[in-house]
Amino acid sequence: MTQENISGAAPSLARLVQELNRLPGIGPKSAQRLAYYIIRLPDDEAYAIADAVTSVKQNIVFCDECQNLTDTSPCQVCSDPRRDRSIICVVEDPLDVLAMERTRSFRGLYHVLHGVISPINGIGPDQLRLKELFTRLGRLEVEEMVVATNPTLEGEATAMYIRRHQGREDLRITHLARGLPVGGSLEYTDETTLTRAFQGRQEI
Amino acid sequence: MAPPKTYRSETVILSYTPLDEADLLVTMYTKDRGKVRAVGKGARRSTSKLVGHLEPLTVVNMSLINGRSMDIISQAEVIQSFSSLKEDLTGISKGLYLAEMIDGFGSENSPSPHLYQLMIDTLTVLQADSSLEMPLRFFEFHLLQVSGLMPELYFCVECRNELEPDAHQFSPNVGGTLCLDCSPEDAHLRPLSLRALKVLRLIERSGILEASKLNISANLSGELKSLLSTTVKYWLGKEIHSNSFLERLHNETLPKV
């Protein structure tokens, strides 16, 4: 969206709309609504948003260990002595760590790849944090690696690549269970998922 | 007459990208409409009825709704998932290489049932044995043929004389093979061995099963791979990204997963 598109708006407002419009999922109309919402906010709340954006850009770094985004390296998880250091969970994205932590069912360490191998988009192993993972596996006394990439074609390809290249014979490599989602429907489930759900059936 | 609001199509999924909060923008090649880009609303949610039906390299019976800017996927049912192919990294990489080429050569509103069938046949053969290289060469050659870009293999494209059983030259820029007497100034000109020419002629007239059974030397395989992938790249006008990952896997000597 250009400033000409919103003729009549003050230049500073037009600039804010333009910047908000850059965000993913924010179209021109949403950008206008957000901009007018920000204008109507009390000063301290509006400045808090601006300060949060500035602060995150100034302070966020990659954790030297797990490659997750953090204010200090090593991050809270990696520096927590209560975490189980015998198991490491490999995820695609920092948001996946948040999802895992919400479950409170995993107390081990993480490694964030920051993407998946996507041959069609020209993203190969060198564009991910795989070298850091393999170095870490050689250094840590990890007994199990849970490869928790998404169950998509590219996620599976990444998991296979990790398994092929991790270089440790004594490491137990697992992935998350495949099957039916809570609230899902058998009728609409694809054959691969249903087959895997059968394979992973459990006693009740 | 106004086009129907909804339509059904047998389609092979080529790729997708995330769109908005939970949608997917899916690129597919349909049997009767050519390339189609459509939105799968909410398809990224784990409880969506579309989940698992829109993975690349899957053959799907699809119902779509004509949209103002983009069609909307209303239903999808897997016909063939090629699940064995997807259990192997080499198989996935080769399948994605095919998908990227179809995406590059396929056009919207320009159906090519031959191209569709070529994709299905090649995936089927690769699923049986993903280590084979010849299915890819067969695919590249027939992709050019279906697209009206088949290289000349019997007459010199410059002097029009019938080619003698000898070594020759090849250039995608002039449309195929040249005899050694004709050497136009052409940056794409490259040598073509007699054995490579014979294999290309065999690929032209044989089916994919016959071509895939051909047992050729590593050198000859390398010559054909270089010639055909360069020709495909020349006509596409851009790099085929998935080829570099495929090359990387090919060059690794690690055991198969």
Domain count, chain B: 2
- Count the neighbouring beta carbons within 10 Å of the beta carbon of residue A23: 11
**CATH number of the domain enclosing B65:** 2.40.50.140
Whether residues A96 and A166 share a domain: the answer is yes
Instruction: With CA atoms as reference, report the closest residue to B13 among B33, B32, B35.
Output: B35
| Inter-chain touch B89–A164, beta carbons under 8 Å | yes
Whether residues B139 and B221 share a domain: the answer is yes
Judge whether A189 lies within some domain: yes
Torsion sign across C-alpha atoms B144, B146, B147, B152: positive
**CATH number of the domain enclosing A10:** 1.10.8.420
| Inter-chain touch A122–B241, beta carbons under 8 Å | yes
Whether residues A93 and A160 share a domain: the answer is yes
Judge whether B103 lies within some domain: yes
Contacts of A120 in chain B (CB under 8 A): 15, 56, 96, 99-100, 103, 241-242
The angle, 0 to 180 degrees and rounded to 10, between the axes of the packed helices A153-165 and A130-139 is: 40
Q: Is the pLDDT of residue B80 over 60?
A: yes
Judge whether A203 lies within some domain: no
Whether residues A98 and A156 share a domain: the answer is yes
Give the confidence band of B257 by pLDDT, cuts at 50, 70, 90. very low
| C-alpha distance from A25 to closest chain B C-alpha (Å) | 5
Place of tokens 């007994």: A143
Domain count, chain A: 2
Whether residues A92 and A55 share a domain: the answer is no
| Inter-chain touch B86–A153, beta carbons under 8 Å | yes
Q: Where a domain ends, among B80, B107, B125?
A: B80
Average pLDDT over every residue of B46-72: 91
- pLDDT tens-digit readout, B131-161: 999 999 999 999 999 999 999 999 999 899 9
Question: Which burial class, exposed, middle or buried, applies to B192 when counting CB atoms under 10 A from its CB (0-12, 13-18, 19+)?
Answer: buried
Whether residues B18 and B132 share a domain: the answer is no
User: For residue A142, what are the domain limits?
Assistant: 84-197
Q: Does B82 touch chain A (CB under 8 A)?
A: no
Judge whether B194 lies within some domain: yes
**CATH number of the domain enclosing B206:** 1.20.1440.120
Whether residues A97 and A19 share a domain: the answer is no
Whether residues A125 and A175 share a domain: the answer is yes
Whether residues B134 and B245 share a domain: the answer is yes
Judge whether A202 lies within some domain: no
Judge whether A70 lies within some domain: no
Whether residues A175 and A88 share a domain: the answer is yes
Q: Does B22 touch chain A (CB under 8 A)?
A: no
Interface of B with A in 41-70 (CB under 8 A): 46-47, 49, 51-53, 55-57
Judge whether A130 lies within some domain: yes
| Inter-chain touch A160–B52, beta carbons under 8 Å | no
Whether residues A109 and A186 share a domain: the answer is yes
Whether residues B199 and B169 share a domain: the answer is yes
Judge whether B173 lies within some domain: yes
CB A119 within 8 A of CB B93: yes
| Inter-chain touch A157–B244, beta carbons under 8 Å | no
Whether residues A110 and A186 share a domain: the answer is yes
**Chain A to chain B Cβ contacts (< 8 Å):** 76
Whether residues B114 and B54 share a domain: the answer is no
| Inter-chain touch B21–A165, beta carbons under 8 Å | no
Whether residues B72 and B145 share a domain: the answer is no
Whether residues B120 and B142 share a domain: the answer is yes
Whether residues B112 and B195 share a domain: the answer is yes
User: For residue B49, what are the domain limits?
Assistant: 6-80
Angle CA B149–B151–B152, to nearest 5? 130
Judge whether A71 lies within some domain: no
pLDDT at B185: 83
pLDDT at B253: 57
Whether residues B132 and B234 share a domain: the answer is yes
Whether residues A13 and A106 share a domain: the answer is no
Place of tokens 């992709």: B143
Query: How far is Cα B242 from Cα B235, in angstroms, rounded to an integer?
Result: 17
Contacts of B114 (CB under 8 A, 6+ apart): B146
Whether residues A28 and A124 share a domain: the answer is no
Whether residues A93 and A139 share a domain: the answer is yes
pLDDT at A2: 47
Whether residues B18 and B115 share a domain: the answer is no
Interface of A with B in 28-47 (CB under 8 A): none
pLDDT at B171: 93
Judge whether A65 lies within some domain: no
Q: Where a domain ends, among B51, B80, B109?
A: B80
Q: Where a domain ends, among B30, B58, B80?
A: B80
What ipTM did this prediction achieve?
0.88
Give the Å distances, CA to CA, from A187 to B22, B27, B48, B49, B120.
21, 25, 12, 9, 26
Contacts of B47 in chain A (CB under 8 A): 181-185
Judge whether A171 lies within some domain: yes
Whether residues B179 and B97 share a domain: the answer is yes
pLDDT tens for chain A, residues 1 to 204: 444 456 677 899 999 999 999 998 788 999 999 999 999 999 999 999 999 999 999 999 999 999 999 999 999 999 999 999 999 999 999 999 999 999 999 999 999 999 999 999 999 999 999 999 999 999 999 999 999 999 999 999 999 999 999 988 899 999 999 888 888 888 888 888 899 899 989 899
| Inter-chain touch A119–B93, beta carbons under 8 Å | yes
Give the Å distances, CA to CA, from A181 to A188, A189, A194.
12, 10, 11
**CATH number of the domain enclosing A146:** 3.40.1360.10
Whether residues B70 and B97 share a domain: the answer is no
Place of tokens 């609303």: B41
CB B221 within 8 A of CB B193: no
